[in-house]
Amino acid sequence: MLVQTQVGQQQVSKGSNIPMRGGNLGDVIISELHGKFYEQTYNGNMYSSGVGTPFTTAAATYSTATLGATATPILGIWNPSSSTINAVILQARLAIIMSSLTATGTSFSWCVSTGNGVISTGTLPFNRKTLIQTGSQCKGLSNIALTGLTNNLVVMEGSALFGGTPYNTSFVGTAVGAPPAPAVAIDDINGAIIIPPGGVLALLATTNNPVALSASTSLLWEEVPL
């Protein structure tokens, strides 16, 4: 099949049938009309969930020390087994606040579980087009215990999210000598994790008891029919 292009800029009106734009090297030129998430957001398929007000993550239930039904994800999502979609994870955000000069740092891991149909907790996600908490087949699990989890979480991989003190042991700082806290972290997953019906994705700390760290979170995904 021969694809013809026209070299140089074009000025056309709506409804015109024209060849694609080409470059001087025989390449096809494609300009980005909107942001990369615009099309699916406009179509009403994009959702988000998280907690905007910082919450403490000091208990062991927020870490990989607890992988059962009492686990409390710092950030998470559950796609019920009865749903008719896959949740395609696009982006995760984490902001960590040190609430004390004596703090213990941590790294974070993505944990997963499958075959869960009876989780009784969760929050309604926001539709990113309407800004209303309606339409999603999934439930948000940030700062919520996984009550009714059928199959324990397993650690899948380390997350690119970070925050708080870089020390994995208790660090006693002073008002003029506190360790620097990194800025808000973004894990640009971009569709590389898909949560099928019955699946759970949970972000947990990797130390037993991170001390004096509070978090605010956000998870962005697209719901794609099976």
pLDDT, tens digit, for every residue of 104-153? 778 899 999 999 989 999 999 999 999 999 999 999 999 999 999 999 99
The amino acid at residue 88 is: V
**Which domain covers residue 60, as residue numbers?**
35-225
Residues 162 and 175 in one domain: yes
Give the pLDDT confidence of 191-208 residue by residue, as tens digits: 999 999 999 999 999 976
Instruction: Specify the pLDDT at position 209.
Output: 72
Are residues 46 and 128 in contact, defined by beta-carbon separation less than 8 angstroms?
yes
The amino acid at residue 192 is: A
Instruction: Specify the pLDDT at position 152.
Output: 98
Residues 139 and 57 in one domain: yes
pLDDT band for position 176 (cuts 50, 70, 90): low
Instruction: Specify the pLDDT at position 222.
Output: 98
Are residues 121 and 113 in contact, defined by beta-carbon separation less than 8 angstroms?
no
- Give residue for tokens 């996984």: 146
Residues 105 and 77 in one domain: yes
Task: Quote the CA–CA distance of 61 and 42 in Å, as a whole number.
Answer: 37
Q: Which residues contact 58 (CB under 8 A, 6 or more apart)?
A: 209, 210, 211, 212, 213
pLDDT: is 23 or 54 the higher one? 54
Instruction: Specify the pLDDT at position 58.
Output: 86
pTM of this prediction? 0.85
Task: Please spell the DSSP secondary structure of 37-62, one letter per residue.
Answer: THHHHHTT-EEEE--SS-EE--SGGG
Tokens for 131? 């800004």
Count the neighbouring beta carbons within 10 Å of the beta carbon of residue 142: 24
Instruction: Specify the pLDDT at position 45.
Output: 97
For 105-124, letters b (16+ CB in 10 Å) and e give: bbbbbbbbbeebeebebbee
- The distance from CA 34 to its chain's CA centroid, rounded to whole angstroms, is 21
Task: Quote the CA–CA distance of 28 and 46 in Å, as a whole number.
Answer: 30
Instruction: Specify the pLDDT at position 168.
Output: 62
Pairing of strands 154-158, 200-205: unpaired
Residues 82 and 183 in one domain: yes
Tokens for 145? 């215990």
Looking at the 3D structure of the chain, how many domains does it have? 2
Residues 49 and 129 in one domain: yes
**The dihedral of CA 143, 171, 106, 175: what is its sign?**
positive
**The dihedral of CA 221, 51, 77, 164: what is its sign?**
positive
Residues 111 and 136 in one domain: yes
- Give residue for tokens 């794609």: 224
Residues 214 and 154 in one domain: yes
Residues 133 and 170 in one domain: yes
Residues 27 and 92 in one domain: no
Query: Average model confidence (pLDDT) for the chain?
Result: 89
The amino acid at residue 19 is: P
Across residues 76-98, what is the average pLDDT?
95
Element housing 189 (H / E): none
pLDDT: is 19 or 225 the higher one? 225
pLDDT band for position 16 (cuts 50, 70, 90): confident
Task: Quote the CA–CA distance of 153 and 44 in Å, as a whole number.
Answer: 30
Residues 26 and 57 in one domain: no
Tokens for 196? 């099928």
Residues 26 and 86 in one domain: no
pLDDT: is 204 or 168 the higher one? 204
Residues 89 and 181 in one domain: yes
